[in-house]
Amino acid sequence: MHYPSAFSPVTNKMKSSLIRELVASTKNIPDLISFAGGFPAPATFPKEELAKIFQEVVSTEGSDVLQYGASEGDSILKRELLKWEGLELDPGQMLTTVGATNGLYLYGRALIEPGDVVLCEAPTFLGTLVVFDALEADIHSIPIDDEGIRMELLQAKVEELRRANKRIKFIYVIPDFHNPGGISYSLERRRELLAYCIEQNIAIVEDNPYSRLRFSGEALPTFLRLAQQEFDGSDVVTEVVSFSKILGPGLRVAYVKGNRELITKMVSWQQKVNITPDCVSQRVVSRFLEKGLMNPHISRICDHYRPYLNQMLQQLQLNMPDSVTWTKPEGGIFLWLTLPEGMNADELFVKARDKKVSFIPGSKFYPEGQEKFNTLRLNYTFSTMEQIETGVQRLASLIK
Ligand SMILES: Cc1ncc(COP(=O)(O)O)c(C=O)c1O
């Protein structure tokens, strides 16, 4: 069998993750300081508590959780999640998924017909772009500023696409501690985007892996909550929440909330693709919530990360030339650096690798053909304090 000729056209066109390739290209360099990955610090995984709960769940509830489970997700987990969030929502408006990536895939699968327009921020999270790309969406990106997506550019883009008779399905946004942009939407921008999307009949999918990792400042309502509170309970928003950066990405537990009919269709896809999310992991997360461990654990993660963010901000301030700017997030795990216009972060990446420091060039976070080259993403949660100091110094001297 000659498999390549048997692959479907979309499989042949499918891209691998450039980020994984870039990270792999630096893997065997001894003493490399990496600000490239998007990994949470293993020190934040609640290993002991989870080990105990896994043991407990399998031994006392094994007959239930080792069996095939419900495609819409574990009802006990859903009950605990709704209690935790204090959200007025029917469990039928929620499903659990195998990580956020799977939830976003099911969302896209339910909505995208090849050629449909999906709007996103520029920059945006590449992992989701490749999902929508594999579903053959026509992806258009709109620049963000410090407060979120730039509304005037969004409006101009929507008008241009509608004039060309394109069908706009939805907009994909990351409102809090943006990956890779490092920004959070202001309350005003959240309201503006919601009002505009409701008026224009454009669905919003909000990807929320980071909002609970807030180290300082005031939390703002998610788009979903705002839609319920201030926009007559509009169901334009679907929110995807992941436990990857809270309990560990290996658990693969996330959940999605939104319009009941849409959720029903996503469940139907889940039935076909996964049968069910992992029943053991789901029940473990529900017991973790039930025992009241989640909020204290999240506070511990924030206490753990806060000094690393401060260290990176301080080192940037001390070392970078005036021509470089960066975001100053109050949480999350990334910073976004803007280099002087004309400087190319892809070229800088190669030079930096020789100096044993790495990052992800910003160009990797845009749809093809819409890249910007003078930006880069820095992660600060996977290095030591000393590595952050040395790594930023190395990077700054190269830029200078
Ligand atoms: C914005 C964003 N969405 C989704 C994901 C993937 O989440 P999960 O591990 O739940 O699939 C990540 C992980 O880095 C992310 O940053």
What is the C-alpha R_g of the chain? 21
What is 3-46+296-399's CATH topology?
Aspartate Aminotransferase, domain 1 (3.90.1150)
How does pLDDT run across 345-363, given as a tens digit for each residue?
999 999 999 999 999 999 9
Is ligand 1 within 6 A of the CB of residue 242?
yes
**Ligand 1 atom with the shortest distance to the CA of 104:** 4
- Report pLDDT for 145: 95
Is ligand 1 within 6 A of the CB of residue 246?
no
Residue 87 confidence class, pLDDT cut points 50, 70, 90: confident
**What average pLDDT score do residues 283-288 get?**
98
How does pLDDT run across 88-137, given as a tens digit for each residue?
789 999 999 999 999 999 999 999 999 999 999 999 999 999 999 999 99
Residue 2 confidence class, pLDDT cut points 50, 70, 90: confident
Residue 39 scores a pLDDT above 90: no
Give burial (CB, 10 Å; 0-12/13-18/19+) of 144. Answer: buried
Q: What is the mean pLDDT of the chain?
A: 95
Percent above pLDDT 90 for the chain: 88
Q: How many CB atoms lie within 10 A of CB 218?
A: 7
Reference 134, options 303, 21, 251, 11; nearest CA is 11
Q: What is d(CA 63, CA 76) in angstroms, rounded to the nearest whole number?
A: 15
Q: What is d(CA 42, CA 262) in angstroms, rounded to the nearest whole number?
A: 35
- Report pLDDT for 258: 96
Residue 277 scores a pLDDT above 90: yes
Q: How many CB atoms lie within 10 A of CB 8?
A: 8
Q: How many CB atoms lie within 10 A of CB 235?
A: 18
Residue 26 scores a pLDDT above 70: yes
Backbone angles phi, psi at 147, to 5 degrees: -110, 0
Is ligand 1 within 6 A of the CB of residue 249?
yes
- Report pLDDT for 237: 97
Residue 18 scores a pLDDT above 80: no
* Portions of the chain given CATH number 3.90.1150.10: 3-46+296-399
| pTM of this structure | 0.96
Backbone angles phi, psi at 325, to 5 degrees: -120, 160
* Portions of the chain given CATH number 3.40.640.10: 48-290
- Report pLDDT for 30: 86
Reference 112, options 203, 196, 201, 179; nearest CA is 203
User: Measured in angstroms, how far is the CA atom of residue 325 from the centroid of ligand 1?
Assistant: 25
- Report pLDDT for 16: 67
The preferred substitution site among 45, 178, 179 for testing ligand 1, maximizing ligand atoms within 8 Å of CB, is 179
User: Measured in angstroms, how far is the CA atom of residue 274 from the centroid of ligand 1?
Assistant: 18
Q: Facing residues of 238 across strands?
A: 205
Write the CB contacts of 274 (distance below 8 Å, at least 6 apart in sequence).
Answer: 71, 98, 102
Is ligand 1 within 6 A of the CB of residue 111?
no
- Report pLDDT for 17: 66
Residue 369 scores a pLDDT above 90: no
The preferred substitution site among 97, 206, 222, 242 for testing ligand 1, maximizing ligand atoms within 8 Å of CB, is 242
- Report pLDDT for 153: 98
Is ligand 1 within 6 A of the CB of residue 179?
yes
Reference 104, options 75, 127, 87; nearest CA is 127
Is ligand 1 within 6 A of the CB of residue 254?
yes
Percent above pLDDT 70 for the chain: 99
Give the type of residue at 274.
N
**What average pLDDT score do residues 3-24 get?**
80
Is ligand 1 within 6 A of the CB of residue 37?
no
User: Which two structure tokens, joined as six digits, stand for 333?
Assistant: 């795990």
Q: What is d(CA 43, CA 301) in angstroms, rounded to the nearest whole number?
A: 9
48-290 CATH choice from 3.40.190.10, 3.30.420.10, 3.40.30.10, 3.40.640.10? 3.40.640.10
User: Measured in angstroms, how far is the CA atom of residue 118 from the centroid of ligand 1?
Assistant: 18
The preferred substitution site among 45, 104, 125 for testing ligand 1, maximizing ligand atoms within 8 Å of CB, is 125
User: Measured in angstroms, how far is the CA atom of residue 174 from the centroid of ligand 1?
Assistant: 10
Residue 23 confidence class, pLDDT cut points 50, 70, 90: confident
User: Which two structure tokens, joined as six digits, stand for 218?
Assistant: 């005031």
Q: Is 170 within 8 Å of 203 (Cβ atoms)?
A: yes
Specify the 3-state DSSP secondary structure of 118.
strand
The preferred substitution site among 126, 207, 278 for testing ligand 1, maximizing ligand atoms within 8 Å of CB, is 207
- Report pLDDT for 242: 98
Reference 357, options 381, 327, 318, 383; nearest CA is 383
**What average pLDDT score do residues 188-200 get?**
98
Residue 19 scores a pLDDT above 80: no
Q: What is d(CA 145, CA 258) in angstroms, rounded to the nearest whole number?
A: 27
